[in-house]
Amino acid sequence: MSQHHKRPPSSLIFIFGGSGDLNHRKLAPALYNLYMDNWMPEKFDIVGIGRRPYDQDSYRTHLFNGIQQFSRRKADEAGGWEAFAQRVAYLQMDAEKEEEYQKIAEIVKEKEAAYGEHPNVIFYLAVAPQLVPGIVSKLGPLNICHDTKCTRVVVEKPFGHDLESANELNKLLASMFDEKQIYRIDHYLGKETVQNILALRFANALFEPIWNRNYIDHIQITAAETVGVEGRGDFYEKSGALRDMVQNHILQLLCMVAMEAPVSFDADEIRNKKVDVLHAIRKISKEEVHQYAVRGQYSHGWMKGTEVNGYREEKNVAPDSPVDTFAAVKFYIDNWRWQDVPFYVRTGKRMHEKETIITVQFKAAPSYAFPPEAAETWRANRLTISIAPDMDIRLRFQSKRPGQDLTLSPVDMIFSYNDAYEEHEPEAYETLLLDVMEGNATLFMREDQVEAAWKVIMPILDAWENREPVDFPNYGPGSWGPEDAEALIARDGRNWVTLPAPHQE
């Protein structure tokens, strides 16, 4: 546990949705781990806001249980939890009633007096998307912090439901807060392996010269999950895979892979480079959506020996739901670096493995000088970046098999985080919460990024909404998605890449 880093300034953190699932699973464990690693400010308090009737003790017990279940570090380490819990309080209030917001203003005053200074006042909106506008419009007028730079609002995804609602939400936020105070979260950007993409690309001389259309055949991004909608049917019915994963997480990964080199690591510089990528993505017309995008929905079936419900049998899901639990899209980026290089992306629930990987497939080297049998196992170089759950980078190249014959086989050179480093990597939410306290917005979505990402997927959403799917459910649990997704890439003479199963390595 390092004692020597600079801690963020005093912070008072209000969590709307304090009794909800996100706080229980992610936020409270992240704050606890930051505390245990000495990353929390000297002076801080966390106030969970919710409607459920907890008293202080039962609220702390509720968070303790979440930490025991979901945190990378359990809450029974010597004295840590007791000390942390003293800084946690619960405020029962109805966030829809304007008059109740005075309770917040009073807590701010009380803490300011106790700290002897203005703390950062952070409002984390871990609530259902439809509640966000109501809360934002009641927070703005509170005027609790004279220095607007100290008050910050953190907005969880989904950010809007489509381009229009995202625009409206951005306008509402802009009427209450300065853009510098708004932190739109995409938790993928907090993952260590995602941040490492910039290090890999720009801190090494090796990759950047060949990171373009001259050497790269195509790029793939897969974000597959084995879970179903896990009791979130209500939310998912209004969302679907394209909105839930592609509009945000997957497009962000694509931006990290495709962006130009930044001239500094300044928040706006990085975000400018990413937004350039989004603007350069070729717009798909509604008429040609079927050539570029495939949707799917999982059926009832068996996964690794367990019987699982189909999507339409999940709680709070319509029995004839047209909602996509799988989406695959082929994108093109029209700029000098990427012209004509396809980016194939796919994501789905109830798929064969949990795996988020990025594959950079290079063009094949010419094979004519080798004997014909060598050509049988001829494979192009491939760089695979595993984001989760494995955290590694593997570079595939050709090697001569030992023996008198000139036989080749592809081999992988593997860098594994767990083998290379002793440190435990922080969870994405730890990194992001620390950044909010420090006022560093690099890993958060700026207004124009969110809107540009919506613009990319709107034609697909519109086409899908106007045409009911005729073949749902169209993939079995435990598979790699619908046949049409295989066809999407096979038509171009390529195939989806998956990691080798562990026992085959």
Q: CB-wise, 131 or 388, nearer to ligand BG6?
A: 388
Site map (CB under 6 A) of ligand BG6, residues 176-215, x = contact? ----------------------------------------
Long-range contacts (CB closer than 8 Å, 24 or more residues apart) made by 392-395: 392/416, 392/417, 393/200
Residue nearest to ligand BG6 (CB): 244
Nearer to ligand BG6, 332 or 417 (CB): 417
Contact 59, 28 (CB under 8 A): no
> How big is the site for ligand BG6, counted in residues (CB under 6 A)?
5
By C-beta, is 193 or 381 nearer to ligand BG6? 193
Which lies closer to ligand BG6 via its Cβ, residue 244 or residue 435?
A: 244
Instruction: Tell me the per-residue interface mask from 12 to 41 with ligand BG6, x by CB under 6 A, - otherwise.
Output: ------------------------------
CB of 499 to ligand BG6, least distance (A): 15
Locate 475 and state its tokens.
Answer: 């993939």
Counting contacts by CB under 6 A, is residue 324 touching ligand BG6? no
Minimum CB separation from ligand BG6 for residue 333, in Å? 24
Residues in the chain: 505
Residue 473 DSSP label: S
Rule CB under 6 A: choose which of 244, 324, 392, 427 binds ligand BG6.
Answer: 244
Exposure b/e, 338-351, CB count within 10 A at least 16 = b? beebbbbbbbbbbb
Choose among 32, 8, 15: nearest CA to 150. 8
Judged by CB under 6 A, the chain residues 333 through 372 that form the site for ligand BG6 are 356
What are the angstrom distances between the C-alpha of 155 and each of 83, 109, 187, 407? 28, 24, 11, 56
In the complex, minimum distance from the CB of residue 226 to ligand BG6, in angstroms, rounded to a whole number: 10
Residue 268 Cβ vs ligand BG6, minimum distance, rounded to whole Å: 25
Q: How far is the CB of 430 from ligand BG6 (least distance, A)?
A: 13
Residue 24 CA to residue 51 CA, distance in Å, equals 15
Active-site annotation holder among 4, 249, 279, 424? 249
Token reading at 280 = 């350069």
Burial class (CB in 10 A: 0-12, 13-18, 19+), 263: exposed
- Spell out the residues 6+ positions from residue 175 whose beta carbon is closer than 8 angstroms to its own: 140
Is-catalytic flag, 118? Answer: no
CA distance 191 to 318: 34
**Which positions from 102 to 141 touch ligand BG6 by CB under 6 A, shown as an x/- string?**
----------------------------------------
Q: Where does 2-50 have alpha helices with state H?
A: 21-22, 28-36
Strand partners for 385: 358, 393
Nearer to ligand BG6, 137 or 498 (CB): 498
Show contacts with ligand BG6 in window 410-469 (CB under 6 A): none
156 binds ligand BG6 per the rule CB under 6 A:
no
Nearer to ligand BG6, 145 or 166 (CB): 166
> Of 170 and 222, which CB lies nearer to ligand BG6 in the complex structure?
222
> What gap in Å lies between CA 115 and CA 279, rounded to an integer?
45
Task: Sort 28 into a burial class: Cβ within 10 Å, 0-12 / 13-18 / 19+.
Answer: buried
Measured from the CB of residue 165, what is the shortest distance to ligand BG6 in angstroms?
17
Dist. CA 299–CA 471, nearest whole Å: 11
How many CB atoms sit inside 10 A of residue 36's CB?
18
Query: Hey, which residues between 378 and 397 contact ligand BG6 (CB under 6 A)?
Result: 388
Give min distance, CB of 111 to ligand BG6, in A: 31
Please say which residue, 15 or 241, places its beta carbon nearer to ligand BG6: 241
Angle between helices 132-139 and 163-176 (to 10 degrees): 20
Q: Does 225 bind ligand BG6 (CB under 6 A)?
A: yes
Question: Toward ligand BG6, which CB reaches closer, 54 or 454?
Answer: 454
Residue type for 52, please? Answer: R
**Shortest Cβ distance from residue 99 to ligand BG6 (Å)?**
33
Residues 6+ apart with CB under 8 A from 277: 254, 255, 258, 259, 333
- Minimum Å gap between C-beta 388 and ligand BG6 is 6
Question: Which residue numbers are catalytic?
Answer: 249
Contacts with ligand BG6 by CB under 6 A lie at 157, 225, 244, 356, 388
